[in-house]
Structure 1
Amino acid sequence: MFSSPNRVAPYLTAVLCAAGTQLAEAQTNAVPDPQWGSWHIGTVILPGGPKHWGGYAEVQARANGLFRQYFYTELKGGVSYDLAKNFTFMVAGGRYATSDYRDLSDGPLNVEKRLWEQVTFTHYSARLKIEHRYRVEQRWFSFRDDITPEGSYRYRNRIRYRLNGFLPLNHPTVTNKTVFLSVYDEVFFNTRGPFFERNRVYGGAGYQFDPHWTVQAGWVNQANFTPASYRQHVFTPQTTATKNNLVLSVMYRINRRNGEVPAREYVPSQPD
């Protein structure tokens, strides 16, 4: 039943990665941020059960510095459906608020409401686990200082692809008391120009204590690409703003009642 999507996935993956690589190489004006930031992620997951339905809820806080200058929050959740053991569909949404860390009392500079649909393919080998995630987002923005005639809301679409790998070190599978490594690369595409918006690279390690608790710590580099512009007879070339961040995450998986679903392996993937 699912052979067709599985045949299409590798080709779509190759096209997206090739496009992202070529466009990333075209960005010559890199502007790295010398200061490291902080990402904190807390997630609760309800895995798919006998009727294949699951879901998740998550909160994130991000800081411009290490454990200081907090400026960004995410609140989100979604409903998932397991079409097969390695093929999951999800519909989710969230609220994303960006503030000025120098004056949080003034409220968010921008609030985004987001809805998305995604499919996830997971390939289980003897030890290495590979996850492909494809997502289509609908995004609504509200800017605090926007006084243009069109109003304060803006709408955009975006497409994302993430390739995530997991390698358990002390067990062949990710189970209780397992140390594992995790790496991923995610590319972000706009449906209107500029086409290539962002690239995100992550590397880290984690530990699954038991069927409920998993923690991870790692590094993420996020590169945002700004298109070239020509305004008031001044040409500004394309630029790439990059920032390194320390990522700390805690995941809690709500297990269903004993006997309702046979034991299976779940990769410790961050939902977002």
Structure 2
Amino acid sequence: MRGTKYCSGLLFSIVSVLFFVQVLFSQNSDEGNYGSWILLCGDVKIHEDWSIPAVGIIRHHHMLDKYGFFFFRTGASYKISKASTFTAGVALLNSNSYLEPEDVVNTNQLWLYGEYTLKSNFLHNSLAHRVRFENRRLIHDAPKTNNRIRYRLQYVRPIYGDVYFKAFDELFLNLEGKTYGENRVFIGVGKQLAPHLKADIGYFNRRFKSYDEHMIRLSFNFTFDLTEKDLAPHTDQPSKAL
């Protein structure tokens, strides 16, 4: 009952925040309109040192409106140590480009990536470094390839109980052409909803060379451990329930 109450309260807060932001910016110009970034990510542990990551993202230029892109990433992760992990895999991206109000161009991309993550904890604070290399391939009549490196520094600090503060900054650098790609900043709060599920929500900014994108980012993070033994107690006595 207590867990259900907390989950219901958090979901109500999330919906209220999204509705408030949508109303607040509904009458503003496109430049001042907040977009939405909905993310579902997690890991499925299949071995003591191996797991399968999965990330799904849907992005809208306006709050839950005007489709931007859908992204899905997966692969395999190897636990090098208690603090470090190496992951490699593939990703697919489908996006819309709005050149003119009536001119929408839809494209697809295939990504190959590899990343290294290093985590550290001190005084209940958590720091995580992530370095990722991406090879992005535009799929159409004249395929194009782009290579880039990303570095993210993430900070998480408990606030009260299962509620925590979360912030990160991520820099994107191209290996061909103009070096600077973009910079992403997130500041928000989250809550542990269940032993294997947590959610966070906050302000998300993507800064490119000539413009910024302002969004509300909602993320759900799950974990599954397929190596765990059956938690149900075993007994040789017959059940009394009929």
Identity of paired residues, percent?
A: 24
Q: Which residue of 1 aligns with 2:9?
A: none
Report 1:165-204 matches (<5 A): 165-171=155-161, 178-204=162-188
Aligned counterparts of 1:182 and 1:83: Cα–Cα separation in 2: 25
Aligned counterparts of 1:248 and 1:221: Cα–Cα separation in 2: 13
Aligned counterparts of 1:222 and 1:161: Cα–Cα separation in 2: 14
Aligned counterparts of 2:160 and 2:198: Cα–Cα separation in 1: 15
Query: Higher Cα Rg: structure 1 or 2?
Result: 2
1:154-191 C-alpha deviation (Å, 9 max, x unpaired): 011000000000001225xxxxxx11111000000011
Q: Secondary structure at the match of 1:33?
A: helix
Q: Which residue of 1 aligns with 2:70?
A: 73
* 1:108 positional shift: 5.6
Aligned counterparts of 2:172 and 2:68: Cα–Cα separation in 1: 22
Aligned counterparts of 2:186 and 2:80: Cα–Cα separation in 1: 28
Does 2:230 correspond to 1:246? no
RMSD: 2.4
1:45-100 C-alpha deviation (Å, 9 max, x unpaired): 224742x0012112111101011112211121121000000010000211111125
TM-score under structure 2 length normalisation: 0.76
Does 2:145 correspond to 1:155? yes
Q: Secondary structure at the match of 1:192?
A: coil
Q: Which residue of 2 aligns with 1:40?
A: 38
Aligned counterparts of 1:49 and 1:214: Cα–Cα separation in 2: 22
Aligned counterparts of 2:86 and 2:227: Cα–Cα separation in 1: 23
Instruction: Letter of the 1:159 partner, please give it.
Output: I
Does 2:89 correspond to 1:117? no
The count of corresponding residues between Structure 1 and Structure 2 is 200
Cα 1:164–1:48 shift into 2, 3 Å: farther
The gaps in structure 2 that reach 5 residues or longer are 1-29, 231-242
Q: Secondary structure at the match of 1:92?
A: strand
Q: Which residue of 1 aligns with 2:25?
A: none
The gaps in structure 1 that reach 5 residues or longer are 1-31, 144-150, 172-177, 226-239, 261-272
Aligned counterparts of 1:48 and 1:86: Cα–Cα separation in 2: 18
